[in-house]
Structure 1
Amino acid sequence: MKEQPARSLVLASEALSLLLRNDRKMVARVEASRQVGVPVHVPTLTIVEAVHGKTDLTRLKWVLSRVRVEPAGQEDSLTAVELLQYADGLHGHKHAIDALVTALALRVPAPVVILTPDRDDWARPCESRVIIKEV
């Protein structure tokens, strides 16, 4: 069965970090999505996780101006808790932000692509609505 084109792209922290570092592949992926009208979503907590002391704040602000920064509210938090419970063995202390990234992906128009290095953690709870691609 052929994979449907994505209607949304969600960046986990490593994907955002690569974008901030001007990684060619990540820049190309994000630009390709934007050019075909696929919105690029970044959860607010991902921003905090992706930056470090040497992050160029001017570049950060510019990158964020080109994506949809999404707050995590109570609904996303409760969905994240359910995802953690479903995923057996994942704890909020270590996986909270990843769970919120996945919760966001479950509320934006599907099919959704999440760019993350943590493919195995979230493939099962997302089923077919979310396509997880490794960065």
Structure 2
Amino acid sequence: MKGTLVLDSAGLSGFIAQDRKVMLLIDAALREDRAIVISAATIIEVQHRGVSTARLNWVLSRLKVEDLDKDGARAAAALLRRAGLHGHQYAIDSMVAEVALRQHPPVAVLTSDIGDMARLCGASVRLVGV
């Protein structure tokens, strides 16, 4: 693999909805032989009545889904502390950041939350707004 593209909920939602910008970025990542990765927690975040289960399952079959174990949870909590963030509103962002930081570089994250993700990831990943 030549790097990793990590999708947060906005990136995954864009893939599910076939958003033009997201699909162009995913196609480019595939051409560059990058892994496309999500945190397992992101699956929970994108669930709502309007999401087609069949489409979600198809998209998930094309992604590497990273689980969160005890060590990952502790690492995500440490990212929150270092960034001066706390609470449920940042919990999933910290899990996505933890997944991104342990991927094969170079790593890019598709996110709608550039500010918080920059605080959590630092300069280790490139953030792409969607």
What is the TM-score when the length of structure 1 is the normalising length? 0.89
**Partner amino acid for 1:104?**
V
The CA deviation at 1:124 is 3.5
Determine the C-alpha separation between the residues in 1 that align with 2:64 and 2:120.
24
| Identical amino acids, percent of aligned pairs | 38
Determine the C-alpha separation between the residues in 1 that align with 2:77 and 2:86.
9
Identify which of 103, 107, 129 aligns with 2:102: 107
Asked if the contact 2:97/2:120 (under 8 Å) is kept, the reply is no
Tell me the residue number matched to 2:24.
28
Structure 1: 5+ residue stretches without partners: 1-5
Identify which of 21, 42, 48 aligns with 1:46: 42
Identify which of 63, 71, 92 aligns with 2:67: 71
**How many residues of Structure 1 are paired with residues of Structure 2 in the alignment?**
129
Asked if the contact 1:17/1:51 (under 8 Å) is kept, the reply is no
Q: Deviations over 1:59-118 (max 9, x none)?
A: 111111111111111122111111110111x22311110000000011111221011111
Q: Is residue 97 of structure 2 the alignment partner of residue 96 of structure 1?
A: no
Structure 2: 5+ residue stretches without partners: none
SS in 1 for 2:123: coil
Determine the C-alpha separation between the residues in 1 that align with 2:81 and 2:59.
33
What is the TM-score when the length of structure 2 is the normalising length? 0.92
Misfit runs of 4+, over 4 Å: none
**Partner amino acid for 2:117?**
W
Q: CA RMSD in A?
A: 1.3
